[in-house]
Every structure is written in C-alpha cells, then in structure tokens.
Structure 1
C-alpha cells in the first residue's frame, strides 16, 4: 500500500466522484470536488494536495484551464487529467506543453488509476525532497557564513593582546637587542594575522561582487622585499636566488614602484604568487619579480623555472585547483585573481618546459 498523501479529484459528475472515493479511499487520502469552481475552493481551503486529478470536459471551465489555475494555488501539486477518447488531441497538447503530468482515458480501471497516482505521488515526493535539500543546503551555507563572521570578529580580541603586549615589554630596560627584535617579530606577526583576518572579509565580499575598493598609492617594492624576507631561510637551504628588478634592471636602494590599490590586498596577492613561485622552483633556480609599465597599466611579472603541471594549466586560477602540493588548498591563485580583478586589473599565466611566468596588471598610481 503506497504512503497516503492528499489527492483531489474534480469532476462535474457526482456518480464518478462517488465511485472514485469507494475504489481508492482505502489506499489514498481522497478528497472530491463537484466542478472546477468547487475544486479551486477546496484547493485553497483544504490543501496542501500532492495530486490533482481533473476531468477535461466540465461546464464553465475545461480541465486544462482548471489545472492551470490550480497550479497558481498549489504549484507543488502534480496534475493528472481524465479524458474521453474524443479529447485525446487536446489532452496530448496539454501534456506536451508541460501542464499535465499524465492523462488517462475514461472509463479508467482502478488499477490503471492507482499506478498513475503512485507515479504522481513519487514525483511529488521527489520534488519535495529536492526542495528540502536545497533549503537545508542554503541554510547551512548561511550558518557557515555566520560562524565565519563571528570567528573573524572574535579573533580580533586576542590578537589585540598579541600586538600590544610586545609594545609594553619593549619598554623594559633589561632587554638586549635580540630580545627586542624577537618582540618586534611577535608584534609584526600579530599585525599580519590581523590583516589576514580582515582580508578574509574582503575576499568574502569580492566573491559576491560587493567589495568597495578604497585605493591609495601603494609602493610595491617594500611589499615584495618583505615577502622575499619570509623566504630567506628557504632560499638559502635550496640555493634559490630571489631577484627584484624593474624592466630587467636592479632597483636602486630607496627605489619605488607605485600602483593604485589597497596595500593589504596587494600584499596578500603578491604573497600568494611569490609563495607559489618559491615552492615550484627547482633547487638552485631563480624566483624573479620584474616591475614595469605596459599600455598605461603597471605590470608585475613573477617567474620561476618550474613548469605548471598539465592537469591544472587550464584551471590554474580556479578555486581548489592544485597539484603536487600535499598541503595545497588551490586558493592562492584564485584569491590573487579576485584581488587583481577587484583593482580593475587582470592576471595571466604562461608556462612551458623552461618555467612559469604569472603576470599581474594593476592601475598605475
């Protein structure tokens, strides 16, 4: 016996409705309505219904029109039509237009009607399950976003202590230079983590095209030099050369290269790209960052001698695209692309057997 769900039968012949109720009431939750107007009233007042079965030929309103109006009242209900043999052309047209789930000819034996009802109920339950799954998915996504926002907010409180305590400790008279440098490193790391927390909020808005850029003049040279400093030990251990140039020439001390953007976003973008270049570079290779101007835009080219694996070349900037990195998330190049686009710039990658070159273009200052 199929699981009961409400089924509405609409016909202008009371004898037909009485016969349907007698034949199906033990297996289904059956309601009847005499004529289309009564059917619309029952739908409105006694719903919801899983299935609506209507006769085609009824006075005042035919079955196609009735089922169309019923769909407005109960959009989830599955429509079935009962027709005479002479109405097959009309019924088939309604089915082809997507208004009717099934049509049955009159008189319809109870077993045939039951099979059609079972199919309609299965269709209704499947649609309801998919709708509920979508609702739960969206609710979970909203919950995840709320939790992430709360975490970002709550992280700032302990970070404030991490940043402020080294400032207080450095005021003591009994510290040597090495200890003061270590405190300065703790403070700088705290600021960096705080910047990353703030950056996650910015990237969240970028994904929804809701980020409002507040650009200023940003000198990229100290940003790149700071990133190179993070990899000084790695470069020494792997015999890597880290090179910063402008149009192929070394940048003189105190030199600069200014773009129009947000410093934190530029720092994050370049940190991700330089990290990728260092990790992909073979031992004894060179990781270079060359700065220049092309076509009214600033150009930042990050190159290394390691080729990008073929499996990720076509999706290099896609979310979660990664290969050959046990701890890789595939988000570094994706966020870099988002940041470049948020600045009104672009980003591109070229790779072959000789190595890889990622080029970022940003507005000039």
Structure 2
C-alpha cells in the first residue's frame, strides 16, 4: 500500500512560507497555504497530506484551533506547530491536550525542523501501517467466517444423501441382520456429523451474541447414560467406575430429569465435560455424575479424583486454555460455558488435591425429575 508523504505548511506570513519552500522543497513533497482558511481548503482539494505544520498566531483562527479542525477533517494527519518564544505556554497546553505531535519555536533551524518532520512522517507511517493491519485482520476474519458459513451450508446436502440412503437400502428383503446393523451405523454417523455442523453454527452465533434459544423439555438422564456407554471401553481398560446418581441415589430405569433447553446443545456440553473428567481421572477411580434439583435450577455435578493443573485453574473456561493434554484444544470447557450461559444457566469448577467437580446449573422443567 503506497504511503503518503506530503507535508502542508500553513502560515499567514507569505515570506515564511517562501523561506520554507526554498529550504525544504528538494527534500520533501510539500505544499503551502496562506492562513487557516486556505489551509483547510488545501486539505480537501490537494490531499491527502501526512503532516500539517501550522503557525500558532494567525488572524481569524489560531494554530491550535486550525490543527484541531484539520484533524477532525483528516484524522490521519500528524499535526506540528510553529510558535514564537512568547507562545510556549499555549503550545505546551496544546501538546498536553493531545492535539499536537510536536511544537517548534521560531526561528527554527532547518536541521531541527527536518528532524521533526522526519519523526512526524514516521509517526504517520506507523499509524497507517497499524490501520492497514487492522483492516487486513478484519477482512481475513470476515473471509474466514464466510468460508466456514459456506462449508457448513454445503456439507448439509451430501449429508442428507448419506443419511437417507441407508434408510432406503434397509427396505430391501435380501439383507441379513449384520448388514442392516452396518446401514444403521452409517445413518447414525451421518446424523452425528450433521449435528456437529449444526452445533458449530450455534456456537458461532453464541460467540457473537446472535444465538436465540428454542427451549423444550430435555431429559438429561438418557444423555448421561449414552455418554456412559461411549466411554465404556476406556473405563474397562483403565478400571474406572462410572457412577450416575439422581439426588444422590442410583436412578431406576424409568426415572427422568428434565431441563429446559436444546437437546443437541445439552449433549455437546455434557459430552465435553464428561470426556474431560474421564481423561483427568486417575486409573482405578470413580467418575461421578450427580443430577439434582435446587430451587428453580437443575444441577449436574461431574466429579473425578484428578486435580486441574494450577496453570489453567484461573483460565479453566477460557478459549484455548489447556495443559497436559497431547490433543487438547482448550475449546471443550469454553464451549460448555457458552452453552450453559445461552440456556440462562451457569457453570463453575472447584478443584483441589482431592479432585475436581464441574457444576452446571440449567433452568429446570416444572417436572424436573422422577427419583429412584
């Protein structure tokens, strides 16, 4: 991106402007304006300018007021002021107010003026480079969002085929049970990927405060039982015990625990938290999930005997906060917190040498649970 390097000198004394032009025209791309009105017109008609140098004492508008108006008209300019010795107090006040980059006293030696102009041009280039970096960063962020949005949209079409084809094939009469089971696995995998695509869209909206919850009654007990089966192989290999309780007691098969929310989001939130608990638990210990009613809240407490590393305790729910995980991204607890908050609930973590408990509070359904 080409950088502007033009300098505008504004003074009501034409002899001063002529002297500046003779001394500086070979070194700088410069223009002059006789007085503040001509200076403001030059900014609009002959710009852009990188630096504006103004005299302080001018009829009609003093240099401070002129440079302030110039800055409002062209925010990118770097203002410099020339002043007589008797005007130092006013010049210092202007600098302290943040309107002026540098002030120089008259008469100003050319080497001193050149050093000030070079510094002002450098300041302009730094500010321009920073502005360009912000612009490119925002543009790349928008491009990334557009690409992700397109991918989420375009993935749904082939997923619909993947999901519907096994349903059609299962209608055939010449399939055995194993083949039907494989078709069911393909269908389930398609639904899982579709759910992940939909979930990423929801999380994207949550981060931007654009998500609108459509709550229904969701039974968390089947979700917890499914997660228990998901981690069954890991539990066996590491001799872990998986304890699910409803109000402190094992639930009977017909028990339920209802919250107001969206099932996919509740599943994703609990899946992340249970997976973290299983991974953090020492071998041979117990991972517990207790569901209970506390006033208008449905509370889910997920506990294990491992302690959260001190390096991430204060940042446990922050994005990319992770420690000691070979494949950890630090997004699981972050997304869990987003989901809990989007449901009008909350999430908290307590840890010490005895273990860790993550507690999720969600709005309860009027009929929250049928205990054992």
> Where on the TM-score scale, by shorter chain, does this alignment land: which range?
over 0.9
| Equivalent position of 2:333 in the other structure | 333
8 Å CA contact 1:206–1:338 kept in 2: the answer is yes
Give the Cα–Cα distance (whole angstroms) in 1 for the partners of residues 229 and 189 of structure 2. 13
8 Å CA contact 1:51–1:120 kept in 2: the answer is yes
| Equivalent position of 2:136 in the other structure | 136
Q: Which runs of 4+ in 1 moved over 3 A?
A: none
Give the Cα–Cα distance (whole angstroms) in 2 for the partners of residues 190 and 243 of structure 1. 30
Give the Cα–Cα distance (whole angstroms) in 2 for the partners of residues 340 and 4 of structure 1. 50
Give the Cα–Cα distance (whole angstroms) in 2 for the partners of residues 292 and 156 of structure 1. 37
Provide the TM-score with structure 1 as the length reference.
Answer: 0.97
| Equivalent position of 2:351 in the other structure | 351
| Equivalent position of 1:232 in the other structure | 232
SS at 1:364's partner residue? strand
Q: In the superposition, relative to structure 1, how do residues 19 and 4 fare at CA in structure 2: closer, same or farther (>3 Å)?
A: farther
| Equivalent position of 1:314 in the other structure | 314
Q: Summarize the alignment of residues 267-286 of structure 1 with structure 2, pairs less than 5 Å apart.
A: 267-286=267-286
Q: Kindly tell me the number of residue pairs found equivalent between the two proteins.
A: 363
> Structure 2 unaligned runs (5+)?
366-372
Is 1:295 the equivalent of 2:332?
no
8 Å CA contact 2:4–2:48 kept in 1: the answer is no
8 Å CA contact 1:6–1:48 kept in 2: the answer is yes
Provide the TM-score with structure 2 as the length reference.
Answer: 0.95
Farther-moved stretch of structure 1 (45-54 vs 231-240)? 231-240
Give the Cα–Cα distance (whole angstroms) in 2 for the partners of residues 122 and 76 of structure 1. 13
Is 1:118 the equivalent of 2:121?
no
> Structure 1 unaligned runs (5+)?
none
* CA shift for structure 1 position 179: 2.5
* CA shift for structure 1 position 228: 1.4
Give the Cα–Cα distance (whole angstroms) in 2 for the partners of residues 230 and 52 of structure 1. 69
Q: Summarize the alignment of residues 163-178 of structure 1 with structure 2, pairs less than 5 Å apart.
A: 163-178=163-178
| Equivalent position of 1:145 in the other structure | 145
SS at 2:58's partner residue? coil
8 Å CA contact 2:4–2:50 kept in 1: the answer is no
Give the Cα–Cα distance (whole angstroms) in 1 for the partners of residues 63 and 116 of structure 2. 17
Give the Cα–Cα distance (whole angstroms) in 2 for the partners of residues 299 and 41 of structure 1. 68
8 Å CA contact 1:282–1:305 kept in 2: the answer is yes
* CA shift for structure 1 position 28: 0.2
Question: CA RMSD for the aligned pairs?
Answer: 1.2
Q: Summarize the alignment of residues 43-82 of structure 1 with structure 2, pairs less than 5 Å apart.
A: 43-82=43-82
Q: Deviations over 1:240-265 (max 9, x none)?
A: 22221101111101211000111111
SS at 1:12's partner residue? coil
Give the Cα–Cα distance (whole angstroms) in 1 for the partners of residues 282 and 181 of structure 2. 32
Give the Cα–Cα distance (whole angstroms) in 2 for the partners of residues 4 and 328 of structure 1. 47
* CA shift for structure 1 position 4: 7.7
8 Å CA contact 1:78–1:101 kept in 2: the answer is yes
Give the Cα–Cα distance (whole angstroms) in 1 for the partners of residues 351 and 178 of structure 2. 43
Give the Cα–Cα distance (whole angstroms) in 2 for the partners of residues 174 and 254 of structure 1. 37
Farther-moved stretch of structure 1 (132-141 vs 148-157)? 148-157
| Equivalent position of 1:89 in the other structure | 89
* CA shift for structure 1 position 82: 0.7
Q: In the superposition, relative to structure 1, how do residues 327 and 171 fare at CA in structure 2: closer, same or farther (>3 Å)?
A: same
8 Å CA contact 2:36–2:61 kept in 1: the answer is yes
* CA shift for structure 1 position 227: 1.4
| Equivalent position of 1:19 in the other structure | 19
